[in-house]
Amino acid sequence: MILFKRGHEIHQHISELKKKGLLIGWVPTMGALHQGHLSLIQAARQDCQQVICSIFVNPTQFNNQTDFVKYPITIEKDIQLLTESGADLLFLPTVNEIYPMGFDRLEQFDLGKLEKIFEGEFRPGHFQGVCQVMSRFIKIIDAQHLYLGRKDYQQCMVIEKLIKIMQFPIQLHKCPTEREPDGLAMSSRNMRLNNTERKDAVGIFQALSYIKQNLKAGNLQPLLEKAKSILLQKNFRVDYIATADSTTLDPIQAWDGRQSLVALIAAYQNEVRLIDNELVTPSFD
Ligand code: AMP
């Protein structure tokens, strides 16, 4: 695996590979890698001859400074995992490399209602930060294929919209969520959970499964209340638990029995905020 720290160097290298007709697949991450990230590398490997992973903890997408400061960094282990997984290139830029002009006058993107609901509501500015970093990286890396996890369901939709409004020539692949044996979605933030919090964290998966198993047409509010009580029993502090149209993310409180639904949760175990989602209508998966 070749490591690049400078944008112009990886850009040059990739443009040479593309001239040879190779397909380039890119997996963006913030590091502290786990099997969820590696599953994206494997998906990229299926389609592409060259697989690039980037690791960059993007300051502009953190609305909470503590979350940013405490974000886990395990770079040596990450490099080992990537080497074992067969990634070809690693892009590991500094903050200055990505934001040479600092953080003033960063580009703003018209994301419409997508940045006002769910993660957008509870993490103001988060998706602008995601788009700022993604548009810089897309231009630098210039891959034909991009691999993202459905674990960050709304982020996938935001990046899909960014690609559309900026007309970036890149194809987005949304990959399934990798879970621990008890169902907890793998996440770098899981490393910050103590033993009790880790045991309780499974409540998110249990609440999502409860919604999926008990979904019936009509008013969904009582179902969501019951699912929320599962989270409260496991000591979660809940930002949101909701059902939404899986293609538009419009919140759905009364289900007509036909719309495809995704259930979404964001909740805290003490200081650690976790998110997860599940497609809950039978036509999916
Ligand atoms: P992160 O490093 O958390 O920013 O995640 C980098 C990419 O990995 C994003 O596209 C995430 O959606 C994806 N990802 C994170 N956790 C998982 C998981 N458990 N399963 C599949 N993909 C994941």
Would you say the CB of residue 276 lies under 6 angstroms from ligand 1?
Answer: no
Report yes or no: 172 and 160 within 8 Å, Cβ to Cβ: yes
Return mean pLDDT, the chain. 97
Would you say the CB of residue 123 lies under 6 angstroms from ligand 1?
Answer: no
Is the pLDDT assigned to residue 284 strictly greater than 70?
A: no
Catalytic residues: 37
SS3 66: helix
Would you say the CB of residue 53 lies under 6 angstroms from ligand 1?
Answer: no
Nearest protein CA to atom 7 of ligand 1, as residue: 29
Q: Which position has the token pair 């036509």?
A: 283
Distance CA 232, CA 280 (A): 21
SS3 145: strand
SS3 7: helix
Q: Which position has the token pair 């259930």?
A: 263
- With cut-offs at 50, 70 and 90, classify the pLDDT of residue 282: confident
Distance CA 56, CA 44 (A): 19
Which pLDDT tens digit goes with each residue over 83-98? 999 999 999 999 999 9
Could you count the other beta carbons within 10 Å of the beta carbon of residue 12? 11
Range 131-158 average pLDDT: 98
Could you count the other beta carbons within 10 Å of the beta carbon of residue 81? 18
Range 230-234 average pLDDT: 98
Type of residue found at 158: V
DSSP state of 111: -
User: Candidates 26, 27, 29: which one to mutate for ligand 1, based on the most atoms within 8 Å of Cβ?
Assistant: 29
- With cut-offs at 50, 70 and 90, classify the pLDDT of residue 283: low
Which pLDDT tens digit goes with each residue over 26-82? 999 999 999 999 999 999 999 999 999 999 999 999 999 999 999 999 999 999 999
